[in-house]
Amino acid sequence: MPEHPAATASPTAALAAAMLGGMLGALARWQLQELTPSTAFDWTVLAINVAGSALMGVLMAWVAAGTAPALARPFLGVGVLGGFTTFSAYAVDVVSMVDDGRAALALGYLVLTVLGALLAVIGGTLAGERWWPRSAASEADKRKFGGNKRKFGGNKRKLGGNKRKFGGNERRFGG
């Protein structure tokens, strides 16, 4: 399988791309929040998180297709979309609602954000896969390993050369 494009970027370039992207994403989020009125239910943060999740799905499909430039993932994923989405503000909003005695609203906001973000990333991924079909190598890998079902064990797909180290301990994946 070909080397992942992000692996071809230097760590310094990836860090610089993530930093620049993070600045741009955070500025975009701040501008959107400044332009929209504040309400008891922060629709702007909800919309930002759902839109960012959809865009992350599109980006991951592009990266998985093998056609994205080496710095696309650190710049757009970690940087722009990481700076744009704001799950910390969402968490603070939920706690504030509970503290203000609006537990039902907090629960609704909590559920709506998580479900919206999950559905958005799935939709974004599916849309991205239509725009950027996987390469022939990716398709062969997909057929070999049973479509989207990743199987670990027996003589199926092996990760990390059959061993991956976690803090000095070895765990085995595969057979």
Q: Which residues are annotated as a binding site for Na(+)?
A: 82, 85
The Cα–Cα gap between 142 and 76 comes to 25
Which positions make up the binding site?
Answer: 82, 85
Q: Count other C-beta atoms under 10 Å from residue 68's C-beta.
A: 20
Beta bridge partners of residue 169, listed in sequence order = 166
In this structure, the chain runs to a length of 175
- Rounded to the nearest 10 degrees, how much is the dihedral formed by the CA atoms of 146, 152, 156, 162? 140
Helix (H) or strand (E) holding 48: helix 43-65
Helix (H) or strand (E) holding 138: helix 136-144
Q: Count other C-beta atoms under 10 Å from residue 103's C-beta.
A: 12
